[in-house]
Amino acid sequence: MNFTVTDLSLMLPEIFVLSMACIILIVDAYLPERLRDLTYQLSQGTLVGAAILTLGIQPESSTLLMSDLFISDAMSVVLKSFVYLIVFAVLLYSRAYLHNHKLFCGEYFVLVLMATLGMMVMISAHHLLTLYLGLELLSLSLYALVAIQRDSSQASEAAMKYFVLGALASGILLYGMSILYGLTGTLELSEIAKAIATGQIEPQLLSFALVFIIAGLAFKLGAVPFHMWLPDVYQGAPTAITLFIGSAPKLAAFAMVMRILSEALPDLHHDWQNMLIILAVLSIALGNIVAIAQTNIKRMLAYSTISHMGFLMLGLLVAKPDGYSAAMFYTIVYALMSMGGFAMLLLLSRAGFDAENLDDLKGLNTRSPWYAFIMMVIMLSMAGIPPFLGFWAKWAVLSQVVAHGFIWLAVLAVIFSVIGAFYYLRIVRLMYFEEPSDTAPLQVNTDMHLAVSVNGLAILALGILPQPLLQVCIQSIS
């Protein structure tokens, strides 16, 4: 292995986040309780710094580093920037909640930064080993985060479930990777693609490896029938943690799927296309139908996530750059919406009270017309109603599906999304048509107020003019 200065400079963001996470861990250990906010500020500073580094030293074309273990390309820059943005917002949204629930501790921030590092590694991986390392770094941090509320039995159960099933999924993925290694003799993504392109490998064995890999990926995405962990974890974890799990890691998961399927296994796309079709249809159908029966919003949003993952796969399965950029657009939009939705739940929570049942939203329009409006924007956007951003995400994906001849798939998807619209509308209904049952005044910090407002208005504004975000996604995949 030979390092060059370029290698190091393009990896600076990762190095920076890692060092800062260690520094914060040490600094936090010596901080008196009243200065704990410094940890928060340092973490936010880390993210800003990483963003500056990432955007400041973009490669001109995609560059392989560290003996081809690591890639820096347009897609990685865009996805990482959004990861920083989302994690930044997550920390901001969670702050008051963590204080109120006595969870405001150094470990939280270090774990979030470690998870962020894991995501960055996944996004930039060009080697199955790097990919796996990033994934495990992310997953282990998330397991610990779910369990961070030690005396809550619900959270502990969720963490346990998450850990066991997550480890199983990692095992399955790893098994698929090892078969692939056995067949191709390499772990580097482009080398795998080359080996498969020679056509000298037994196709049945390749499909065998593919099945394990797809199952592992579907598990991480939360696609039906590998979705079982998702509702329990979303519901069981403290809302601030659910907010984190439900947003940024989806970007990393998308990157992982992209790297493996489009960079390592493009020649097998006929095989994985069919698998993705099944996963996508099941996810959209089951997610939307089961969500209707939920009374817990976190659980409802978990099922909604499952259906969104189905839509994301619709974009991936066309196996063309246009489809990939549509899926990427969908993922980013989804993360923005999910972040806003959970942020509203955090906003309605206070010390000793978690807003997580549908009834907690009753009459929000009377309590605060502005937040009701923001929540309505987010819910309608998730339902895919124009002129909100979520509509364009669905539109981008559907247009790719139609363009590649899967009209029946598009028809199924839209019909299920109408069914899904019902439970999003139910939230709008509760907020606008009912009288409030909880009349405690909302206490919202200025930074939270601003961030939630910007989040909601961005979904509306980008819904009216989606061109910039779409353009970014199209340009980053070519």
Partner 1 sequence: MFAELPLLSLLIWLPIVGGAWVLLQGKNKDMATVRPVALFVAVITFLLSLFLYSGFDSSTAAMQFVEKHNWIAALNTYYHLGVDGISMPLIILTSFINVLVVLAGWEVIQKKPAQYMAAFLIMTGLMNGVFAALDAMLFYVLWEAMLVPMFIIIGVWGGPNRVYAAIKFFLYTLLGSVLMLIALLYMYNQSGSFGILDFHQLQMGMTAQTLIFLAFLVAFAVKVPMWPVHTWLPDAHVEAPTGGSVVLAAIMLKMGAYGFLRFSLPITPLASHQLAWMMVVLSLIAVVYIGFVALSQKDMKKLIAYSSIAHMGFVTLGFFIAFLIYDKTGQIGNGSVLGMEGAIVQMISHGFISGALFLCVGVLYDRVHSRQIYDYGGVANTMPLFAMFVVLFAMANSGLPGTSGFVGEFLVILGSFEAGFWIAFLAATTLIIGAAYSLWMVKRVLYGSIAEDKMETVGKLSDINGRETFILSTLAVMVLFFGIWPEPLLDVMHVTVANLLDHVHQAIQSAR
Q: Decide: is 211 part of the binding site for partner 1 (CB under 8 A).
A: no
Part in contact with partner 1 (CB under 8 A); list of ranges 78-86, 145-153, 173-181, 462-470: 462-470
| 270: CB partners within 8 A, 6+ apart | none
Comparing CB distances to partner 1, the nearer of 105 and 402 is 402
- Shortest distance in whole angstroms from residue 176 CB to partner 1: 35
Among 115, 347, 380, 382, binds partner 1 (CB under 8 A): 380
170 to 166, 201, 212: CA distances (angstroms): 6, 25, 10
Phi, psi angles (nearest 5°) of residue 162:
-60, -45
| Of residues 80, 46, 33, 82, the one with CA closest to residue 469 | 82
Contact 374, 364 (CB under 8 A): no
Q: Decide: is 321 part of the binding site for partner 1 (CB under 8 A).
A: no
* Token pair listed for 402: 């139609």
Q: In DSSP terms, which residues pair with 125 in a beta bridge?
A: 70
- Shortest distance in whole angstroms from residue 408 CB to partner 1: 10
Task: Tell me how far apart the alpha carbons of residues 351 and 394 are, in angstroms, rounded to a whole number.
Answer: 37
231 to 100, 160, 310: CA distances (angstroms): 24, 14, 15
* Token pair listed for 38: 């410094």
Q: Decide: is 457 part of the binding site for partner 1 (CB under 8 A).
A: no
Q: Decide: is 395 part of the binding site for partner 1 (CB under 8 A).
A: yes
Q: Decide: is 421 part of the binding site for partner 1 (CB under 8 A).
A: yes
Helix axes 106-123, 37-56, angle to 10 degrees: 20
Q: Decide: is 406 part of the binding site for partner 1 (CB under 8 A).
A: no
- Shortest distance in whole angstroms from residue 341 CB to partner 1: 17
Q: Omega before 387 cis (within 30°)?
A: yes
- Shortest distance in whole angstroms from residue 444 CB to partner 1: 15
Q: Decide: is 471 part of the binding site for partner 1 (CB under 8 A).
A: yes
* Token pair listed for 339: 């972040």
Q: Decide: is 320 part of the binding site for partner 1 (CB under 8 A).
A: no
Q: Decide: is 474 part of the binding site for partner 1 (CB under 8 A).
A: yes
Comparing CB distances to partner 1, the nearer of 197 and 418 is 418
Among 27, 165, 403, 458, binds partner 1 (CB under 8 A): 403
Local structure of residue 442 (DSSP, 8 states): P
- Shortest distance in whole angstroms from residue 75 CB to partner 1: 16
Q: Decide: is 459 part of the binding site for partner 1 (CB under 8 A).
A: no
Part in contact with partner 1 (CB under 8 A); list of ranges 274-282, 294-302, 336-344, 460-468: 460-468
Contact 328, 318 (CB under 8 A): no
Interacting residue ranges for partner 1, rule: CB under 8 A: 365, 369-370, 380, 385-387, 391-392, 395-396, 398-399, 402-403, 407, 410-411, 414-415, 417-418, 421-422, 425-426, 428-429, 432-433, 465-467, 470-471, 474
